[in-house]
Structure 1
């Protein structure tokens, strides 16, 4: 484990590609995020902070510090921003509903903010911010909304986590690095 003097000893980040599960081992034999990391990350008990599903990609943090992991995942403590592509026409009414809260089969889902970034054919690109991470939160929320033109459910086609709190790194897909001490300090200074 080679760390530079200005590297965090508590946090590392991986830019997770699609097709990897966030678990230490998988009973179905699928590739895990640990296949992308040095063996010592697994051996030394570094654990993911939060999850990204098999089809999602983006920033994933790891720590050996359980208290820090709990603080970063506690609802309301840390804002995460995702870039998503949604199949369907996302309207102002959809955005208002996502901000207010949408009832799914299991629970109420909502977002902190939605920013429309563009369109392409029958697809809409959005940046969505949440401060909690229920299972498949964003996918289920948009799946509960209907396209007004075709009366079909909206569907998240691509989902990429682009930031966690103040941490918005530029890391190549499938690569990892330690957070710097400055990045760690900025990330945890606003946590309760």
Structure 2
């Protein structure tokens, strides 16, 4: 079995081919030369960070399916500074379209996280402050973080998935730069297989 950890850059499609645009966009094929591996879940074109790839279909299903509630943590730069009321709404779940998000762990980061710069950088509007949140979700719906922050009035400017798992059992991006990948260690594979 193959298990890969990839630091997906901004603007890269979370698939190996691009059949949906006249403009050529970078895909996983531009970065990963390992045959017959598939992404576990997705990151949007405009999101960055941790992406697992594997040829283990059973594990792929279990990690991607919301019913298994695996924690995934994101660093999220938002426009303006959310108050406690907005943070509480995010923590307790937000109704978006026809579903209500599960409870989440959400807190303000005391300072900007040490992340590689995004290329291209986010728009800079000097009159509007920004801040960073850490958000841990237990489900992974389409554009969920962006929809959640927008629903409470603080649009997402930058979104980076930084880890999968809990603090005691976690896979993260340590040692990788955007566009780099590595094979998972035996210990990380065992941890993934034992996720409940």
- Same fold flag (TM > 0.5): yes
Higher strand share: 1
1:133 aligns with 2:140: yes
CA distance in 2: counterparts of 1:49 and 1:190, whole angstroms: 14
Match of 1:173 among 154, 168, 178: 178
Would you say 1:124 and 2:119 are equivalent positions?
A: no
TM-score, normalising length from structure 1? 0.83
RMSD: 1.7
SS in 1 for 2:51: strand
Distance 2:152 2:69 in 1: 27
* Contact 1:20 1:33 survives alignment (8 Å): yes
* Structure 1 gap ranges (5+): 1-8, 147-153
Query: For residues 82-101 of structure 1, what are the structure 2 equivalents within 5 Å?
Result: 82-101=74-93
Which 5+ residue runs of structure 2 have no aligned equivalent?
113-127
SS at match of 2:171: coil
**Match of 2:29?**
34
Q: Conserved in 2, the CA contact under 8 Å of 1:111 and 1:128?
A: no
Equivalent residue of 2:147, what SS? Answer: helix
Query: Which region of structure 1 is more displaced relative to structure 2, 60-69 or 108-117?
Result: 108-117
Q: 1:111, 1:129 within 8 Å by CA — same for their partners in 2?
A: no
SS of match in other structure, 1:118: coil
Q: Work out whether residues 2 and 37 of structure 2, in 8 Å CA contact, stay in contact via their aligned partners in 1.
A: no
Moved over 3 A (4+): 118-121
Give matches, 1:97-112, under 5 Å.
97-112=89-104
Instruction: Say if 2:75 and 2:134, in contact at 8 Å, map to a contact too.
Output: yes
Query: Counterpart of 1:13 in 2: which secondary structure?
Result: strand
Alignment of 1:132-151 (within 5 A): 132-146=139-153
Distance 1:93 1:119 in 2: 20
Native 8 Å contact 1:85 1:124 kept in 2: yes
In the alignment, does 2:71 pair up with 1:64? no
Distance 1:111 1:56, change over 3 A: farther
Give the C-alpha shift of residue 111 in structure 1: 4.5
Specify the alignment match of 2:157 in structure 1. Answer: 157
Deviation at 1:106, TM superposition (A): 4.0
